[in-house]
Chain A
Amino acid sequence: MSGRVSVLDDAAELRPRAVSGRAPDVFSREDCVPMAQFRDEEEVDFAIVGTGCGGGVLAAKLAEAGGSVVAFDAGPFFRPLADFASDEREQEKLYWLEERISDGENPIELGSNNSGRCVGGSTVHFQMVALRFRPEWFQARTKLGYGADWPVDWREMWRYYEEVEKACSISGPIRYPWGPKRGRYPYRAHEVNAAGLVLARGAEALGIDWAPTPLCTLSAPHGKSPPCVYRGMCKIGCSTNAKQSVLVTYIPRALAAGAEIRDLATVGRIETDRWGRATGVAYFREGRWRFQKARHVIVAGYSIETPRLLLNSHSARHPDGLANSSGLVGRHLMVHSNHAVWAEFDEEIRWYKGPPSMACCEHWNYADDDPTKDFDGGYAFMSQGPLPSDFATSIVTNSGEFGMDLRARMAKYNRMAGLKMVGETMPQADNRVTLSEGKDDLGLPRPRVTFGYCDNDKRLYAHALDFMGRMIEAAEGKNRFETEGTAHLMGGCRMGEDPKTSVVNADGRSWDVPNLWVCDGSLMPTGGGVNPSMTILANAARIADRMIAAGRRGEV
C-alpha cells in the first residue's frame, strides 16, 4: 500500500492510533495505512459501535458497497507483531476489565472469561474453534420443542458460513462427521497435538466420532499472514498474525474500502430526535465527549455492552431505553456451560503446544435418540491447553486447593489433558443485563448481569461431566477431577418475527427505531451447543447483504 508512514507512538492503550488520516498497519511493527476520516458534523451513512465479529464484518461490507462508515471501539488498536508478548499477565490488556456487577443464582465470571476490548473485539483473544450451528437450532422451538426460532432459514446461513469461513481461511478436515454435508474447509486441517489425541483415543474407545477441530488459524500462508507456529498462546493474542481474527481480516478490508475506525472511543449514548429517530452517537475520545452525526446507528458491542448502551440511551420518547418497547432489551442472555474433566497421563502431553482445542466432539449435538439424553439442547466438547496461570486459577477457584498440594498438582502440568464442554443453556427471560446504580469513570451506569441455570441446563452439564469423565477414563487418564465454569455470551437483544417478542427483525433493524440496528452476538435467540463466533460472523455477513439490498431499494 502506498503512503506508508512510520510512527513511533505510545502504547496503544494510552493514545488513539487511528488518527490524522492513518491507522495502524496490523501486519507491521510500526507502520500505518491510509484511512478515511470524517468530521463529527458530517452525517455519515453508518456509525457502528464495536469492531468485533458483528461490527468488523459490517464495517468492511458496508464500506465495500460504497457506504460512508465510522466504526468505534472502546479499546486500543494493536499491532500484534509489536504489541503482543508471550505473557499471560501482560496480555490482560486485551480484555474488558471495567467493573461489571455479576449476580443471580449462578453469577458468571466476566472480564477475561468472555469479553474483549480492542479493535477486532473478542476475536483477538478467542480460541479459534470455528464450528457451525446444527441446522435445527435455527428453528429450535418448531423442530426441537425448546427455546425460540430464529427468523432465518438455515440454508441461507449455510451459504454465509461458507463466506466467512473463506474470509477467515478456516482450516479443517476434509470430511466433518456431523451435520449436513459441507464443502471442504478452505485450508487443510492442522496436525492434532497430543492433547487432541487423548480425545481421539477416548472417542475411539467409546465408539463415537471425533474430528480435528476446524480452526481460525492458518495451516498455510495467506496474504501477509504466516502459518501457525503452534505457539499455543492464542487466548492471550497471537503475536504472529497466523490467527485470522477480525483485526487482521475484516478490519484491513474495511480500512481499504474507506471506512474510518476510531479506537479508544467509547460510545456512551445514542441520541434520538423528537420523532424518535437516531441522529448519531455521543462518544468519549481523547479526554472529551463528542457527537458523530449518522443516518444509521448499528450497535455491535456484544451481549452486555449492546443492551447497556440501548438502555442508557433512554429519552422522553423511549423512557425504558431505545428499541425496548417489547421490554426485552437485555433479556434472554445466554452463556455456555463450560465444565471440564481433567486427568493425568503416563505420557507427556505438553498441551501448551498448538491451539488449545485441536480435537472436538459434537456427538451430543446430534444424538437426539440416545436414551440417556435427558435434556433439551446439546453440547460439544474439545481437548484443552490452558496456559499455567489460567490452569492454576481454574483449579483454585473451583477447589480452593493451596500450598504444596497445589504446587505438586501444577508440577503435573505436562502430563495433564482435559475435555471441556460448550453446553447450550436455555434462553430465560430473567437471565439479563440491567443498569446498576453505580457509575463508571465516564459517568455511565455500570451493567449488572444476572444469571442462573435452569433445571435443563443442570441436567445437560451433569450429563456432559459424566460422559466426558467416562471418555477420559477410556483414554487412560488417572486421578480425574472436575471444574465448572461458563464461557461465551449470547442473546440480550434477540431477533425475531414479532415486535412483541423480539427487539429487532431478521435484518437486525430495531422494531421501534427504523434507523437503529443491532448486529452482534446479542441477536441470537438460541445459543446452540457450539462456540458462537462463526455464527455471529455469518449472521453479520447476511445482515450486511440485507442492508445493502434494502439500500438499493431505497429503504435504508
Chain B
Amino acid sequence: MTDDRFDSPYPRYDVLEKWDTPSYNDQTREALAKRMDEVPPRRFFTAAEFTTLQAVCARVVPQPGRAAPVPIAPFIDSDLHAGRGTGTRYAAMPDDRTAWRQGMAAIDAEAKARHGSTFAELADAQQDSILSAINQGECAASGAWRDLPAQDFFRKLLLKWIVSVYYVHPAAMSEIGYGGPASPRGYVRLGPNEADPWEAPLSEKGARQ
C-alpha cells in the first residue's frame, strides 16, 4: 500500500465552518463537540493491546501529514468499555469484547511469528502485509486465533468499527466533500453538478462538466 500522501478533492472545504449556521442544530453541535474535545481515556484494553490497536488503526486509516490525526482507538476502547453493542453476534465468533482481545493478541502473534517482534514495532510495509494476509484469512500463527475466524474478525468487526469511528469525524467529512450536518436547513439543489452555497464548492473536475 502506498500511503505517502492523500489529496482531498476539496482542500479548502471544512464542515466546521458551518457551525454557527442553520446547518447545525444544538444536539449536533453537542455530539460533535464531545467527539472532538473529549477523547476518552483507555479503560478496556490493556496497555499492550491498546498499542497494537493504535498501530492497526494507523495502517487502516493512515493519516500522514495531519498534525493531529483523528483519534480512533480511544473510541473503540470506550465503546467496548461501555458494552455498546452492534446487535449482531455471529455464531462463529465470540462476543465482541472477547473477540477484540483475542484479535489484538492474534495480530501480535502474527507479527512475532513472521518477524519476531510486536506488531507496533514493525515497519509500515510489514504491518500492511500482515493485515493483508489476515484479510485473506492466511494466518501464520493459527494457534493464536483459536476459535476466532480471522477474516470475519478483520472485516466485520475490526475494519468496520474503525471506519465507523473515522468517517463520523468532521475532518473525514471535510476531506470527502460530504455536506455534513444539515438540520434544520437541508439542501435546495439536488441535481448533478449542483451545490448550495453551504456545500463544498464543486471540485475542479466537477466544475469542468
Contacts and interface: CB of A to CB of B under 8 A. Distances in A.
A348 B192 contact: yes
B193 A348 contact: yes
B206 A348 contact: yes
Contacts of A110: 87-88
A53 to B, nearest CB: 19
Interface string B58-98: 01111000000000000000000000111111111001000
B171 to A, nearest CB: 12
A115 B30 contact: no
Contact of B190 (A90, A193, A415): A193
Nearest to A90: B31
A206 to B, nearest CB: 20
Interface stretch (A131-139, A149-157, A227-235): A227-235
Contact of A403 (B1, B175, B181, B190): B1
A352 interface: yes
Nearest to B9: A411
Contacts of B90: 101-103, 107
Interface string A342-369: 0000111110111000000000000000
27 contacts: A86-B182, A86-B183, A87-B168, A87-B181, A88-B164, A98-B87, A102-B90, A110-B87, A111-B87, A113-B88, A115-B87, A191-B190, A194-B194, A229-B183, A239-B27, A240-B184, A352-B179, A392-B163, A392-B166, A396-B155, A397-B159, A402-B131, A403-B3, A403-B60, A410-B176, A414-B178, A414-B200
Contact of B186 (A84, A230, A393, A415): A230
Closest 5 CB pairs of A and B: A111-B87, A229-B186, A103-B91, A86-B181, A348-B206
Quick one: which of A97, A411, A415, A448 has the most chain B CB within 10 A? A411
Interface string A391-427: 1110111101011111110110111000000000000
A398 B151 CA distance: 11
Interface of B: 1-3, 6-9, 23-25, 27-28, 30-32, 35, 59-62, 84-92, 95, 128, 131, 135-136, 151, 154-156, 159-160, 163-168, 172-173, 175-195, 199-200, 202-203, 205-206, 209
Given A191-B190, A193-B191, A400 B155 contact: yes
A99 B163 contact: no
A348 B167 contact: no
A103 B91 CA distance: 5
A348 B201 CA distance: 11
B192 A197 contact: yes
B91 A107 contact: yes
B91 A348 contact: no
A67 B131 CA distance: 60
B87 A404 contact: no
A402 B60 contact: yes
Nearest to B24: A86
Interface of A: 82-90, 92, 95-103, 107, 109-113, 115, 191-194, 197, 228-233, 239-240, 346-350, 352-354, 387-389, 391-393, 395-398, 400, 402-408, 410-411, 413-415, 448
A349 B192 contact: yes
A349 B206 CA distance: 9
Quick one: which of A347, A403, A405 has the most chain B CB within 10 A? A403
B106 to A, nearest CB: 16
Given A89-B164, A400-B155, 8 more contacts: A100-B88, A230-B187, A239-B25, A348-B192, A349-B192, A354-B190, A388-B176, A406-B60
Nearest to B124: A403
A240 B92 CA distance: 41
Nearest to B190: A193
B187 A231 contact: yes
A348 B178 CA distance: 11
